[in-house]
Amino acid sequence: MNMTLKNHSCRGLTKGINRHFSTGDGVRNINNTYRYPDDIVGEVHYDSRIISGAMWDLREILGAELTDELVLRSMKLEPRDFQEYLEDILIVDDDNADLSDGTPHINAIFKAFYVNHGIDSEYFYLVAPEVSGEYLPSCSFTNNDTTTIAASVTDVIDVDPSSISMTVNGEPVALTNAKISNGYRVEHIPTIRGRGSCGLFKCLGYRKKLRLTQLVIFRGCKTSSLKYS
């Protein structure tokens, strides 16, 4: 509360109280990059910098007024650890009593808590990204025929283009991508070798958190894929 009231990320900047006043770094600075669980040391004041950093980052994204409301109302739910605090913030932010479809500010909360500070929750992964594709209706190819495989991947949480993978006949292929609203449009132009009806299988996969997996969103129950047959 001290930091948000003073609109400054450093605690202990009052002249005469501590030696950190002249340097401007305070006793603790919550504008930081500490991550859970990497930077946990088992001391409450040091460890608190992780969750405080997430709250400060959320404040930078959403503004002081909205963030203070989310943080203070979440405190009243008496969370016992970082994850519970995060999930209480999602509960407070929710507008329809259903976390399975996200919350109005879930993207900002995801960035501040997980991307910046490693604090995670299964509620980030309940909403499967939407995958829509474009392809020729026929699966009949001739020697060296090329057919563009295109798809759009969108999500309530920003899509990381490096987390999108495509396989053709089980082999990963290179993609080009272009930013669209809430996601990316990806394309691949394969060279199909063979004749006649091919029973070709092509899939687009989307994976969170850069897990080494294809065709499956590894977290929670989300699976998004395209099958061309």
Q: pLDDT class for 27, splitting at 50, 70, 90?
A: low
Q: Record the tokens describing residue 48, joined without a space.
A: 């608190």
Residue type, 214: Q
Q: How many CA atoms lie within 13 A of 66 on its CB side?
A: 13
User: What CA–CA distance (Å, rounded) separates 105 from 117?
Assistant: 17
Coil, strand or helix at 47? helix
Give the pLDDT confidence score for residue 164 in this predicted structure: 77
Give the pLDDT confidence score for residue 216 in this predicted structure: 27
Give the pLDDT confidence score for residue 218 in this predicted structure: 29
Neighbouring C-beta atoms of residue 139, cutoff 10 Å: 17
Torsion of CA 36, 42, 43, 49, to 10 degrees: 0
- Determine what percent of the chain is predicted with pLDDT higher than 70: 61
Q: Cα 84 from chain centroid?
A: 18
- The H or E element that residue 62 is part of is helix 44-62
Give the pLDDT confidence score for residue 22 in this predicted structure: 45
DSSP string for 67-107: HHHHHHHHHTT---SHHHHHHHHHHHH-SSS-GGG--TTHH
- 0.85 exceeded by pTM: no
Name the least confident of 34-43, 130-139, 193-202, 206-215: 206-215
List pLDDT tens digits, range 117-169: 999 999 988 877 777 765 434 333 333 445 666 777 788 888 777 777 776 66
Architecture of domain 130-210: Sandwich (2.60)
Q: Cα 77 from chain centroid?
A: 24
List pLDDT tens digits, range 51-62: 999 999 999 999
Mean pLDDT, to the nearest integer, of 203-212? 40
What Rg, from alpha-carbon coordinates, does the chain have?
Answer: 23
Q: pLDDT class for 190, splitting at 50, 70, 90?
A: low
Q: Cα 227 from chain centroid?
A: 25
Query: Residue 38: is its pLDDT beyond 90?
Result: yes
Kindly state the greatest CA–CA separation across the chain.
Answer: 84
The domain spans of the chain are 31-125, 130-210
Q: Record the tokens describing residue 147, joined without a space.
A: 């057919």
Give the pLDDT confidence score for residue 75 in this predicted structure: 96
Mean pLDDT, to the nearest integer, of 2-19? 55
